Amino acid sequence: MEDLPIILVENARILRAGKLTRANILIEEEKIKSVTGSRKPNADQSIDARGRFVMPGLVDGHAHLYDPAFTNREDFTSGTSAAAAGGVTSVVEMVLSTPVDSAERVLAKIEEGRRHSLVDFSLHAGMMNLSNLPNIPEIAQLGVRSFKTFTCKPYYADDHTLMSLMRETSMHHSILNVHAEDEQIANDNLQTLLAEGRREPLAHAEWKPNVVEERAVNKVIEFARGIGARLHISHMSTREGVVAVKKAKRRGVRVTTETCPHYLTFTRRDMKKQGPYLKMNPSLKGPKDVEALWKGLRDGTVDIVTSEHAPGVREEKEVGWADIWKAWGGVPAIETMLPVLLSEGVNKHRLTLSALQRVCCENPARIFGNYPRKGAIIVGADADLVMIDLKMKRKVRGKDLHQKVDWTPYEGWTLKGWPILTMRRGQIIYQDQQIVGTPGSAEFLPMAL
Ligand SMILES: [Zn+2]
């Protein structure tokens, strides 16, 4: 490694044992070398944090950044530029339409990330089924230890498949990561809605009422309990799901779960105004679900917040005004995730700064096997930091964001609390609304589970 300057981040406010304390963070060779109170060690360069809140860089456990078939929506460079601007320093990239289900395909994606990403990354493999199940050992061997599958279309895995996948992932120290919505109820509802000629945006939200998630979540929890498998439930959207996970955790089931900024800030009523732009899977629910998800984050039932960044281009959304079934499902979210959580969570007393750091940094790093290299400001960890101005107010404008698409569901929202500097392994990659990192500097992060 070439000689990197020794950097001191001075006068930061960091969380220690749940309390904000002043700290000087010394960085050497990409790592945190020391964290001191009043003492200021010598360094080649210093960055004055001026009493600003400094958190570990966020670890986004679920983001769709690169699908070779759909680079009009996003690619590694644009998606991780948006990540950097949102204080995210590592992502677990989630497979989308193009399968990542063999060693060859995993290696190709790692190569793509190494060449084009600005932030460090791990990968989820998928979509898993019986035909690619035999590839699990070789994929796990490469450090990709989270395998995505669905209990519903379009990647439906039946009960036998789910249980077989759980047995195999368990044997290879891996997680089965499930999109949990019940296919049978959803399909019955869909047939009824189609027969009635329902095509307006709200029909999509009616398609999968809460019971659809509740039933699937309970089922996969039972399977995981029986097998002793490690289960992760993607993008939880209902209060019933939260209750199910809470009970399961009490019984010792090895289950973790996530929710996403959109499920914490919008309800299906918002589709009246934003229509297809708020189409996503699972669909938005009601105000009681929103509050249950915040509560779940506070009490530890919901382990992490992920962006579930899944932008579609305007044309893919616009078609949904006439026929919601034709619209792309998913929203851009990676750059706004932290400001949204600060503004709607911390500022509204739904989340403490400690809880925010737990669900955005520490827990995702733990679940996806990179703690404490990531997710912590401690000696020996990667120098991944985000400096935050808790008082800064900014209006969200799609055109100001660094993602490829020019829209956001938060258009016009004034958010309070923004990242002003993001550092990844000691290198500043974002500062004062400018991306200063370069693609090709990222490292692939194998999961140690
Ligand atoms: Zn997803």
> Whole-angstrom Cα distance, residue 26 to residue 387?
15
Kindly give the distance from the C-alpha atom of residue 95 to the centroid of ligand 1, in angstroms, as a whole number.
Answer: 8
Those residues whose beta carbon sits under 5 angstroms from the ion ligand 1 are 94, 308
Kindly give the distance from the C-alpha atom of residue 9 to the centroid of ligand 1, in angstroms, as a whole number.
Answer: 35
- 313 alpha-carbon distance from chain centroid: 20
Q: Which residues pair with 24 in a beta bridge?
A: 36
Kindly give the distance from the C-alpha atom of residue 49 to the centroid of ligand 1, in angstroms, as a whole number.
Answer: 35
Kindly give the distance from the C-alpha atom of residue 264 to the centroid of ligand 1, in angstroms, as a whole number.
Answer: 16
Burial class (CB in 10 A: 0-12, 13-18, 19+), 405: buried
pTM over 0.75: yes
Kindly give the distance from the C-alpha atom of residue 308 to the centroid of ligand 1, in angstroms, as a whole number.
Answer: 5
Kindly give the distance from the C-alpha atom of residue 283 to the centroid of ligand 1, in angstroms, as a whole number.
Answer: 12
Kindly give the distance from the C-alpha atom of residue 42 to the centroid of ligand 1, in angstroms, as a whole number.
Answer: 45
**CA angle 379–385–388, rounded 5-degree value:** 135
Kindly give the distance from the C-alpha atom of residue 127 to the centroid of ligand 1, in angstroms, as a whole number.
Answer: 11
Kindly give the distance from the C-alpha atom of residue 94 to the centroid of ligand 1, in angstroms, as a whole number.
Answer: 6
> Whole-angstrom Cα distance, residue 114 to residue 209?
40
Kindly give the distance from the C-alpha atom of residue 147 to the centroid of ligand 1, in angstroms, as a whole number.
Answer: 12
Kindly give the distance from the C-alpha atom of residue 306 to the centroid of ligand 1, in angstroms, as a whole number.
Answer: 9
Kindly give the distance from the C-alpha atom of residue 100 to the centroid of ligand 1, in angstroms, as a whole number.
Answer: 14
H or E element in which residue 328 lies: none
Q: Look-up: residue for tokens 């210093």? A: 46
Kindly give the distance from the C-alpha atom of residue 137 to the centroid of ligand 1, in angstroms, as a whole number.
Answer: 23
Kindly give the distance from the C-alpha atom of residue 164 to the centroid of ligand 1, in angstroms, as a whole number.
Answer: 22
Nearest residue to 409 via CA among 337, 341, 342, 332 = 332
Token couple for 261: 């900024």
126 phi/psi in degrees, rounded to 5? 165, -170
H or E element in which residue 304 lies: strand 304-305
Residues 137, 147 contacting (CB under 8 angstroms): no
Kindly give the distance from the C-alpha atom of residue 61 to the centroid of ligand 1, in angstroms, as a whole number.
Answer: 10
Q: Look-up: residue for tokens 């991944």? A: 384
Kindly give the distance from the C-alpha atom of residue 428 to the centroid of ligand 1, in angstroms, as a whole number.
Answer: 28
Per-residue exposure over 303-331, b if at least 16 CB sit within 10 Å of its own CB, e if not: bbbbbbbbbbbeebbbebeeebbebbbbb
Q: What is the mean pLDDT of the chain?
A: 97
Kindly give the distance from the C-alpha atom of residue 29 to the centroid of ligand 1, in angstroms, as a whole number.
Answer: 34
pLDDT by residue for the chain (449 residues), tens only, comes to: 567 999 999 999 999 989 999 999 999 999 999 999 989 999 999 999 998 999 999 999 999 999 999 999 999 999 999 999 999 999 999 999 999 999 999 999 999 999 999 999 999 999 999 999 999 999 999 999 999 999 999 999 999 999 999 999 999 999 999 999 999 999 999 999 999 999 999 999 999 999 999 999 999 999 999 999 999 999 999 999 999 999 999 999 999 999 999 999 999 999 999 999 999 999 999 999 999 999 999 999 999 999 999 999 999 999 999 999 999 999 999 999 999 999 999 999 999 999 999 999 999 999 999 999 999 999 999 999 999 999 999 999 999 999 999 999 999 999 999 999 999 999 999 999 999 999 999 999 999 99
Kindly give the distance from the C-alpha atom of residue 63 to the centroid of ligand 1, in angstroms, as a whole number.
Answer: 7
> Whole-angstrom Cα distance, residue 117 to residue 65?
10
Kindly give the distance from the C-alpha atom of residue 18 to the centroid of ligand 1, in angstroms, as a whole number.
Answer: 31
Kindly give the distance from the C-alpha atom of residue 219 to the centroid of ligand 1, in angstroms, as a whole number.
Answer: 20
**CA angle 445–52–372, rounded 5-degree value:** 25
Kindly give the distance from the C-alpha atom of residue 280 to the centroid of ligand 1, in angstroms, as a whole number.
Answer: 9
For 30-129, strand residue ranges (E) read 31-36, 45-48, 53-56, 58-63, 88-93, 120-123
Helix 210-227 to helix 159-171 angle (10° resolution) is 50
Kindly give the distance from the C-alpha atom of residue 347 to the centroid of ligand 1, in angstroms, as a whole number.
Answer: 28
> Whole-angstrom Cα distance, residue 192 to residue 425?
53
260: left (phi over 0), alpha (psi -120 to 50) or beta: beta
Torsion, Cα of 394, 399, 404, 407 (10° steps): 90
Q: Can you tell me whether residue 285 is helix, strand or coil?
A: coil
Token couple for 168: 């195999």
Q: Which residues pair with 149 in a beta bridge?
A: 178
